[in-house]
C-alpha cells in the first residue's frame, strides 16, 4: 500500500498523510493542484505560504520548484512515466458531488450546472462536443499504451443537486473523508455497490463558510486521494467555493469570467486538473514524473490559445457555456510547437 510500508518511492514522497476512521483512507494524498505562481525560495522552502504540518517537506520544494516557470514546469527532459503495477481507471466512472457546508439553493444549482456540463462534455465520444475520443482526449494514450480503453466519464446527478452535509469552519484532510462518509451513510450519494456499475469518484465541494485547512489557497487549489470502502478501492477529490482572499492564488481571472461567477469558473479548471490525474493515477502509483508531478501538474496554469470576450478569456465551449481550463500533458512526452507536451483537454 503506497506510503505505508517499504522504502519511500517518488510517488510516496510527493504525498501528504491523511487518515480517517470512516472511509478507510489510504494515508496519502496528492500535494494538489498548485496555487498560481508557486515557487521555491533560496533555502528550498515554499515561499507562497508557511509550511503546513501535514506536508512532506522533503518532497515539496522539488515538486513546487517545477512550477516556478513554464519552461521548468513543462520540460520534456523530465518525462512522465508509467510505474509498473500502477492501476488506471476503466469502464464507466461517475463523479458524485458531496456538498459540504452552507450552500444556497441558487449557488448550488449554478455550480452543479457549470461543473456537470463540463464533465459531461469532456466525458464521452457521444457528448455534445463530439470529440474524437472518450474522456479528455489528451488522456487517451495513458490507457492505450497500457492496452486499456479509456473510461467513460459521467455526472449522474446533473439534474438535481443533493442535500448538503452540515459543516462550518476549518476542514482537515481527515475530515474530508469523514464528510464523504456522512454523505454515504445518509444515502446522499451511491456507494460502489449501489452506483449501477459505475466506478465512483466522490467530489468534496466545500461551501465558502468552510476552509480546507491543510493549505487551500496557500499551497493548493484542490487535491485527490484514495481509500477503501470495505474491500473496494475508491477515489475522491477535494475542491471548494472560496472568498476573494484566494482569487489571486486559484484564479487567473479576477474581474470577470465566462459564466459570471469567478469562483466556480476557477474551480472548473481545477476540477479538470484533478480528474485528469485521478483517471491516470487513481491510487498514486501509476503515471508521474521524477519529481512526483502528475499529468495535469506538468501543465498547471497554462491554457494555450484563448479568446477574449466581455472582459474574460476562454478556451473551451461546451453547449452554451464557455470555460478557461488548464491543459494536460501527453503521455508520449512529445514536444508541441510551444516546446511543451501540453495540450488542451478537449483536443484529439
Phi and psi angles of residue 177, each rounded to the nearest 5 degrees, phi first: -60, -35
Q: Which of 29-33, 127-131, 190-194, 203-207 has the highest mean pLDDT?
A: 203-207
Largest CA distance in the chain: 54
- Specify if 311 maps to a domain: yes
Instruction: Locate 88 and state its grid cell.
Output: 488506471
Hey, is 263 helix, strand or coil? helix
Q: Which of 26-30, 61-65, 189-193 has the highest mean pLDDT?
A: 189-193
The residue with cell 461551501 is: 207
CA distance 291 to 80: 10
Given a cut of 50, is residue 316 above it in pLDDT? yes
Element (H, E) at 341: none
Q: Write the burial class of residue 41 (CB in 10 Å: 0-12 exposed, 13-18 middle, 19+ buried).
A: exposed
Q: Average pLDDT for residues 207-217, to the nearest whole number?
A: 95
Decide: 294 and 284 in contact? Cβ < 8 Å. no
Decide: 246 and 208 in contact? Cβ < 8 Å. no
Helix axes 105-123, 262-280, angle to 10 degrees: 40
If you ran DSSP here, which 8-state letter would residue 46 be given? B
Q: Average pLDDT for residues 289-313, to the nearest whole number?
A: 91
Res 150: pLDDT: 85
The residue with cell 476540477 is: 271
Confidence of residue 55 (pLDDT cuts 50, 70, 90): very low
- Specify if 296 maps to a domain: yes
CA distance 59 to 288: 14
Res 74: pLDDT: 56
Res 338: pLDDT: 79
- Specify if 190 maps to a domain: yes
Give pTM, 2 decimals: 0.87
Res 38: pLDDT: 66
Pairing mode, strands 232-240 and 199-206: parallel
How many domains does the chain contain in total?
Answer: 1
Pick from 3, 2, 25, 149: nearest CA to 85: 2
Domain that holds residue 254: 10-344
- Specify if 5 maps to a domain: no
Given a cut of 90, is residue 221 above it in pLDDT? yes
- Specify if 3 maps to a domain: no
Res 346: pLDDT: 66
- Specify if 197 maps to a domain: yes
- Specify if 238 maps to a domain: yes
If you ran DSSP here, which 8-state letter would residue 52 be given? P
Hey, is 326 helix, strand or coil? coil
**Mean of all residue pLDDT scores within the chain:** 81
Res 135: pLDDT: 60
- Specify if 39 maps to a domain: yes
Given a cut of 60, is residue 56 above it in pLDDT? no
Give residue-wise pLDDT tens across range 144-176: 899 998 888 899 988 889 999 999 999 999 999
Give residue-wise pLDDT tens across range 66-116: 554 444 455 677 889 999 999 999 889 999 999 999 999 999 999 999 999
Give residue-wise pLDDT tens across range 238-260: 999 999 999 999 999 999 999 99
If you ran DSSP here, which 8-state letter would residue 72 be given? H
The rounded percent of the chain whose pLDDT value lies above 90 is 56
Amino acid at each position: 500500500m503506497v506510503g505505508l510500508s517499504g522504502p519511500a518511492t517518488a510517488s510516496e514522497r510527493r504525498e501528504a498523510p491523511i487518515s480517517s476512521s470512516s472511509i478507510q483512507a489510504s494515508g496519502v494524498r496528492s500535494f494538489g493542484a498548485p496555487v498560481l505562481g508557486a515557487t521555491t525560495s533560496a533555502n528550498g522552502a515554499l515561499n507562497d505560504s508557511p509550511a503546513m504540518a501535514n506536508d512532506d517537506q522533503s518532497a515539496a520544494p522539488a515538486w513546487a520548484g517545477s512550477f516556478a516557470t513554464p519552461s521548468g514546469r513543462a520540460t520534456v527532459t523530465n518525462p512522465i512515466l508509467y510505474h509498473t503495477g500502477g492501476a488506471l481507471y476503466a469502464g464507466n466512472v461517475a463523479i458524485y458531488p458531496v456538498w459540504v457546508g452552507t450552500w444556497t439553493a441558487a449557488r448550488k444549482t449554478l455550480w452543479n450546472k457549470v461543473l456537470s456540463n463540463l464533465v459531461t462534455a469532456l466525458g464521452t465520444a457521444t457528448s455534445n462536443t463530439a470529440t474524437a475520443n472518450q474522456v479528455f482526449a489528451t488522456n487517451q494514450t495513458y490507457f492505450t499504451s497500457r492496452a486499456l480503453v479509456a473510461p467513460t466519464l459521467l455526472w449522474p446527478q446533473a439534474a438535481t443537486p443533493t442535500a448538503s452535509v452540515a459543516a462550518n469552519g476549518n476542514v482537515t484532510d481527515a475530515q474530508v473523508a469523514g464528510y464523504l462518509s456522512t454523505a454515504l451513510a445518509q444515502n446522499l450519494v451511491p456507494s460502489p455497490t449501489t452506483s449501477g456499475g459505475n466506478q465512483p469518484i466522490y467530489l468534496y465541494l466545500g461551501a465558502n463558510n468552510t476552509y480546507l485547512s491543510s493549505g487551500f489557497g496557500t499551497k493548493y487549489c484542490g487535491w485527490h486521494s484514495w481509500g477503501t470502502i470495505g474491500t473496494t478501492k475508491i477515489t475522491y477529490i477535494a475542491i471548494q467555493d472560496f472568498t476573494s482572499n484566494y482569487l489571486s492564488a486559484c484564479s487567473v481571472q479576477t474581474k470577470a469570467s465566462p459564466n459570471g461567477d469567478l469562483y466556480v469558473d476557477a474551480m472548473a479548471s481545477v476540477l479538470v486538473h484533478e480528474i485528469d490525474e485521478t483517471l491516470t493515477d487513481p491510487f498514486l502509483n501509476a503515471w508521474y514524473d521524477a519529481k512526483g508531478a502528475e499529468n495535469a501538474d506538468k501543465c498547471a496554469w497554462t491554457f494555450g490559445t484563448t479568446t477574449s470576450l466581455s472582459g474574460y478569456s476562454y478556451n473551451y465551449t461546451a453547449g452554451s457555456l464557455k470555460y478557461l481550463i488548464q491543459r494536460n500533458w501527453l503521455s508520449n512526452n512529445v514536444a508541441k510547437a510551444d516546446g511543451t507536451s501540453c495540450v488542451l483537454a478537449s483536443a484529439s
